[in-house]
Amino acid sequence: MPRLQVLYGLACEGDFSKIVYFESRENSLPLTLREIIQACREMAGSDAIAVAMIAESAGLVGAALRRSPAFAAPPQPAFEHPQIRQWLSFTAERAYARSLAFLVGVATSDPNSLLNPIVRPLAKDCDIAGHFHAASFSYHPLKKGETNLKEAASGLFELENLQGVLHLLNDERESGAGQSEFLRGACWIGSIAEISAEK
């Protein structure tokens, strides 16, 4: 049986209260992660939300682990140059276009939220901060009207080829890759009513 080993993590309990479907209009630009999460937050009517999303990717931007931190202690300090190159690789341009992406994460607009140590602004001049991971799978058309998240996610892991996993980032440098973008998909949204920190 698979077992989960966690160095640190975030767990959400409860049910999703809303399902939202989105699609970029024909001949229009894909939707950015910021635009989608902003709409989800407005529909949830909450400052803090948890989101799961299955969507057709137009390209993902983020960082991937080069090796598992469970096998060896990271060099100190691990997130400074040049040590960070041993642990993380970054997308120089949007990756996994024409794939089916499964995203999970949280977002908040509360500057005093307990989530703030793990969230970052979704874009420049954006008051919403988030933390999202995406698993990219081989492409197949997204089933319209999908409502069962558990069945949809299980189908991806059991039937499709996993291409990669990214911690999504916003790269709005002058020569950066920009934001992750999506063509159409479904979002399961839940308001976060209470946050507790455990050590």
* pLDDT above 70 (res 90): yes
* pLDDT above 80 (res 86): no
Our count of domains for the chain comes to 1
Q: Is residue 199 part of a domain?
A: no
Between strands 162-168 and 88-90, the pairing is unpaired
- The CATH number assigned to the domain holding 115 equals 3.30.1330.80
pLDDT band at 143 (very low <50, low <70, confident <90, very high): confident
* pLDDT above 90 (res 106): yes
* pLDDT above 70 (res 11): yes
Q: Is residue 1 part of a domain?
A: no
Per-residue model confidence (pLDDT) at position 186: 95
* pLDDT above 80 (res 68): no
Q: Is residue 101 part of a domain?
A: yes
- For residue 50, the enclosing domain spans 18-191
Q: Is residue 8 part of a domain?
A: no
Rg (CA), the chain: 17
The predicted model scores a pTM of 0.88
pLDDT band at 132 (very low <50, low <70, confident <90, very high): very high
How confident is the prediction for the chain on average, in pLDDT? 88
Map residue 121 onto helix, strand or coil: strand
Distance of CA 43 to the CA centre of its chain: 19
Q: Is residue 2 part of a domain?
A: no
Q: Is residue 77 part of a domain?
A: yes
Name the residue among 35, 38, 50 with its Cα closest to residue 131. Answer: 50
Q: What are the tens digits of pLDDT across the range 148-175?
A: 999 999 999 999 999 999 999 988 887 7
Q: Is residue 92 part of a domain?
A: yes
Q: Is residue 185 part of a domain?
A: yes
